Amino acid sequence: MVLLALVLFVTIFLIYHLYWKRRNLPAEEKVLDVTKHFIKKIKADSANEHTNIVSHVNVCVASIINSILFSYDFNDERIAEFEILKKILEDQVQLFQSPQLLMLIPYYKYVRHIPFLRRGFQQFFACQQTLFNFFRGQIKEHLANHDPDLDEEPRDFVGAFLKQMHKDEKEKVENSDFNMDQILSLVNDIWVAGQETTSVTVLFSVIYLIRNPKAQQKLHEELDHVIASDRLITTADRNNLTYTQAVINVSDFYNI
């Protein structure tokens, strides 16, 4: 359970403070809702001889990001959607890491028609376009249901962005940063970069603890002392979990 507790705390700590520290939205509630489902899945899977924690963490992180951006997670009914997006993202990352693309992307307009390079570029941008189409679809759905005159807190990041965008349009703000191109770029950056980096950081923390039993024991003792129950860890516990934060910081440092 110490590994599960660390996974939950790292996920909450990174997502909540990287993306939502300055936003007046119930982000932590979204995180906790997803982690409850995550715990349920881990407990069910623990009855087996082996637990695929990589798969569980990937789904959990993607669900948190998606819930914050679009107000829905990748539950059992939507797991196929996640698998498709994950495969596209993995393909894109693999293509980007190939030596020829990595070195020649800055010179794309000059080398894109070279036969032995063209296919790799086409595959890379096809993956990017597929992800963009998914994000455009989510934004379009939000636009269809968005009432700019409704005085209530937005449910998610896209809703908050659209609310400010319409406010700027109404006030005729010139050169506003709140526009359709910007929201598409932001959503892509948060989803694509957040998914891969956060999942890797969480999983590295798990490996770090497995290979450092003394750190694992001290972490377990602090969690038992501060939490002392089966409740979920929240960001309100952060100041009382100094050793846990130190473990997270060390894991993050070595992962970088």
> Residue 19 above 60 pLDDT?
no
User: In this prediction, what percent of the chain has a pLDDT beyond 90?
Assistant: 28
Instruction: Return the pLDDT at 138.
Output: 96
Confidence of residue 84 (pLDDT cuts 50, 70, 90): very high
Give, to the nearest 10 degrees, the angle between helix 194-210 and helix 2-19: 150
Burial-class residue 68 by CB neighbours within 10 Å (0-12, 13-18, 19+): buried
CATH number for the domain that contains residue 41: 1.10.630.10
Measuring CA to CA, which residue among 223, 224, 227, 225 is closest to residue 245?
223
164 contacts: CB under 8 Å, gap ≥ 6:
178
pLDDT the model gives residue 21: 46
Query: For residues 185 and 119, what is the distance between their CA atoms, to the nearest angstrom?
Result: 25
What integer pLDDT is reported at residue 86 of this predicted model?
93
Above 70 in pLDDT, residue 20?
no
Residue 49 belongs to what domain range? 2-255
Query: Identity (one letter) of the amino acid at 206?
Result: V
What would the mean pLDDT of 94-114 be, rounded to a whole number?
77
Average pLDDT for the chain: 82
Distance CA 220, CA 222 (A): 5
Report field, pTM of the whole predicted structure over 0.85: no
| pLDDT tens sequence across 183-229 | 999 999 989 888 888 888 888 888 888 888 898 889 888 888 888 77
**Which two tokens mark 199?**
């999942």
Buried b (16+ CB within 10 A) or exposed e, 91-104: ebeebeeeeebeeb
- Give the pLDDT confidence score for residue 88 in this predicted structure: 94
Residue 140 clears pLDDT 50, i.e. is over it: yes
Task: Place 132 in a pLDDT band, splitting at 50, 70 and 90.
Answer: very high
Number of domains the chain is built from: 1
Residue 143 has pLDDT above 90, yes or no: yes
Tokens of residue 52, six digits? 């695929």
Residue for token digits 């694992």? 216
Per-residue pLDDT averaged across 52-75, rounded? 90
pLDDT tier, 16 (very low <50, low <70, confident <90, very high otherwise): very low
pLDDT, residue 18, reads 45
